[in-house]
Chains A and B, each alone.
Chain A
Amino acid sequence: AQSVTQPDIHITVSEGASLELRCNYSYGATPYLFWYVQSPGQGLQLLLKYFSGDTLVQGIKGFEAEFKRSQSSFNLRKPSVHWSDAAEYFCAVVQGAQKLVFGQGTRLTINP
């Protein structure tokens, strides 16, 4: 079965610094990959997705992610974080055709 690993449970960065959140997946074929963000008390909002084609995908709020098949990774990046980016970030992969399998999440804290 497909699985997703987010190695970092909690990351703290300073406002204005760059960010990279790691995601590794386990899947035999080309995966469909997603990054979602969850602000405190809120639902899940899609940041970006990868299905095929260009391995560098752009998302909302200035985020991007790069699919690297050789490393089974789909890391999320942002060149300069804002205080409003503090949230929980979830990487997910589609399993079969009907459901998302989520990673454990990475909680991002922004220092002023």
Chain B
Amino acid sequence: EPEVTQTPSHQVTQMGQEVILRCVPISNHLYFYWYRQILGQKVEFLVSFYNNEISEKSEIFDDQFSVERPDGSNFTLKIRSTKLEDSAMYFCASSDLWGNTEAFFGQGTRLTVV
């Protein structure tokens, strides 16, 4: 069964450092998303991406964040200068249609900023 793959599963970084979280969406999907879940809180939308550009982003997704699809398979989330409050589980998701279809989620990357 096709699945969304995220690497690494856990990343520890020092405050102020740049991190790149990687995702391989399902191969025939066209829409890609990043979500974040701070420990003990709900899952929050960060950004959606289609046709090599951002479709929508939340207030959380400020200019410290960027996304990229550098090749035909990977989808990355970069945080330029991490802050303590960026510590969270980051989920990548992909879907083949807008809205009224299933978004498949990866296992997540736990980011710990120290």
A104 CA to B45 CA in the complex, in Å?
Answer: 13
CB distance from B104 to the nearest CB of A (A): 8
Nearest chain B residue, comparing its CB with the CB of A49: B102
**Residue of B42, B55, B102, B106 touching A90 (CB-CB under 8 A):** B42
Q: Which of B45, B100, B104 contacts A32 (CB 8 A)?
A: B100
A101 to B99, CA, bound (A): 11
Question: How many B residues are at the interface, by size bracket?
Answer: 20 to 34
**B92 → A minimal CB distance (Å):** 9
The main secondary structure of chain A at its interface with chain B is: strand
* Cβ of B43 under 8 Å from chain A: yes
Chain B, residue nearest A34 (CB): B102
State which residues 82-112 of A face B: CB under 8 Å.
Answer: 90, 92, 94, 96-105
Given contacts A32-B100, A44-B91, A94-B99, are A99 and B43 in contact (CB under 8 A)? no
Q: Does A42 contact B (CB under 8 A)?
A: yes
Q: In the complex, how many angstroms separate the beta carbon of B57 from the nearest chain A beta carbon?
A: 10
Taking CB as reference atom, which chain A residue is nearest B44?
A: A102
Cβ of A11: which chain B residues have Cβ within 8 Å of it? none
| A residues lining the B interface (CB < 8 Å) | 32, 34, 36, 42-46, 49, 51, 90, 92, 94, 96-105
Some 23 contacts from A to B, beta carbons below 8 A apart, are A42-B107, A43-B6, A43-B91, A43-B106, A43-B107, A92-B43, A94-B99, A94-B100, A96-B56, A97-B100, A98-B31, A98-B33, A98-B48, A98-B56, A98-B98, A99-B33, A99-B56, A100-B43, A100-B45, A102-B42, A102-B43, A102-B44, A105-B43
